[in-house]
A and B are shown apart, each in its own frame.
Chain A
Amino acid sequence: MLVAPAARADDANFVLTMKGRKFDVAELQVPANAKFTVTVKNLDPMPAEFESTDLNREKVVVGGGGTITIYLGPLAPGRYAFFDDFNPQATGAIVAK
């Protein structure tokens, strides 16, 4: 096996929910310099795409209750913007402290 699991079970997990074509949290506070995961739930009927050029991530989450997991960190302290690529008015940020 070339790769070893990096996201341990005790990595912190944060949840973002999409409803009404927007994120339920405008700013997600996460610990700096630590690995963590973000679960994105999409309660809208249409698909959405979590995208962040700051974080180098983009992933589609299907509608009707679909969920995806984004693996992140360790991040330097700072603000990392994200948006829904299918509806760019839906924006938010991860703030590492």
Chain B
Amino acid sequence: MQRIGFALVLAATLVAGIVAARADFEIRYPIVDYREFEFEHNGSTSVDSRSAFNNNQSYTYELGYGLFPWWEPEIEAPYNAPPGSNSAFGGLTWENTFQLADPGEYWLTPGFFAEYQHAASRANADLFMFGPTVQREWNNALGSGLDTLHTLNLFVTKQVGRNRNDATPIAVAWQSRLRLNSYLQPGIEYYGNLNNVVNRTTMSDPTHRVGPVLVGLVNFYRFGALKYEAGYLFGLNNATERGTIRWRLEYEKAF
């Protein structure tokens, strides 16, 4: 009986870890869309011949508003379906994007991202995730006439409350893309979870994923704008699924 209890706690801890990791397939930009409402959907599903890694699904639905030129809060509802499980509500998340300078004002456009997730299940821990997000424009790169955009996220996660563990995983996300036009911007992105940076005993091996992405925007002007991202990520080590399909859809409307 004690073993079953231990197994349940361990499973809950692993699921909490998966929740944190799955939510990371999204680049956070250091730009606030002041006075704009945003509705955003993110999704991902894994592809692997190993059943423990196959069909790991994650979906989020977010609603945000640019309250100030420097602050945009969002409310997010994540749903997760680990391999072999049904989709379940992961918990309510409060996200905050802080824009610290205008694009082009400095060599890097600096920003800060912070979120707090209240777990839906009492078996899971709440968590904070926060860290810098920076962006660099490189227009007319090497005199080629091509405009490029590069974004880097470096986030730390800390669990709090009951059933927490003391690990401090670091999530790295990077995206570089070619701004061909507003509709079609091909790029490449990397997502890494460096789980054993601080506490090697409580988290799994690090994961690394890299792959191509398409980003674009269709502007309907007075009727708002639709942004999309679609990518495929290749797992780079055995702790990572062989492939992950990820997508993002965002509708925004200025008021």
B103 engages A86 (CB within 8 Å): no
Q: Is the interface of B mostly helix, strand, loop or mixed?
A: loop
B33 engages A7 (CB within 8 Å): no
B35 engages A4 (CB within 8 Å): no
Task: Name B254's contact: one of A2, A72, A85 (CB within 8 Å).
Answer: A85
**Contact partners of A83 in chain B: CB under 8 A:** 221
B179 engages A2 (CB within 8 Å): no
Contacts A54-B182, A58-B33 known; 14 new A-B pairs at CB < 8 A: A2-B134, A4-B107, A5-B106, A6-B107, A35-B104, A53-B181, A53-B219, A59-B69, A70-B104, A71-B102, A72-B104, A74-B139, A75-B140, A76-B147
B102 engages A74 (CB within 8 Å): no
A7 engages B219 (CB within 8 Å): no
**B149 contacts A by Cβ under 8 Å:** yes
Q: How many residues of B contact A (CB 8 A)?
A: 28
B149 engages A56 (CB within 8 Å): yes
Q: Enumerate chain A interface residues (CB-CB to B < 8 A).
A: 2-7, 33, 35, 47, 49, 53-54, 56-60, 69-76, 83, 85-86, 88
A76 engages B101 (CB within 8 Å): no
A32 to B197, CA, bound (A): 46
Complex A-B: 13 CB contacts under 8 Å = A2-B108, A2-B134, A3-B101, A7-B105, A49-B254, A56-B179, A60-B35, A60-B69, A71-B102, A75-B140, A83-B221, A88-B221, A88-B222
Per-residue A-contact encoding for B113-125, CB less than 8 Å = 1, 0 else: 0000000000000
Task: Name B104's contact: one of A4, A71, A86 (CB within 8 Å).
Answer: A71
**B75 contacts A by Cβ under 8 Å:** no
Given the known A-B contacts A4-B106, A6-B106, A7-B105, are A33 and B179 also in contact in the complex, defined by CB atoms under 8 Å?
A: no
Task: Give the nearest-CB partner of B183 in chain A.
Answer: A53
Given the known A-B contacts A53-B219, A71-B102, are A3 and B110 also in contact in the complex, defined by CB atoms under 8 Å?
A: yes
**Contact partners of B149 in chain A: CB under 8 A:** 56
**B34 contacts A by Cβ under 8 Å:** yes
A86 to B226, CA, bound (A): 16
A47 to B149, CA, bound (A): 29
**Contact partners of B106 in chain A: CB under 8 A:** 3-7
A58 to B99, CA, bound (A): 13
Given the known A-B contacts A85-B221, A85-B254, are A56 and B137 also in contact in the complex, defined by CB atoms under 8 Å?
A: yes
B146 CB to closest chain A CB (Å) equals: 8
**Contact partners of A70 in chain B: CB under 8 A:** 102, 104
**Contact partners of B34 in chain A: CB under 8 A:** 59-60
B103 engages A57 (CB within 8 Å): yes
Task: Name B105's contact: one of A6, A49, A54, A75 (CB within 8 Å).
Answer: A6
A80 CB to closest chain B CB (Å) equals: 10
**Contact partners of B110 in chain A: CB under 8 A:** 2-3
Q: Tell me the residues in window 11-37 of chain B with beta carbons closer than 8 Å to chain A beta carbons.
A: 33-35
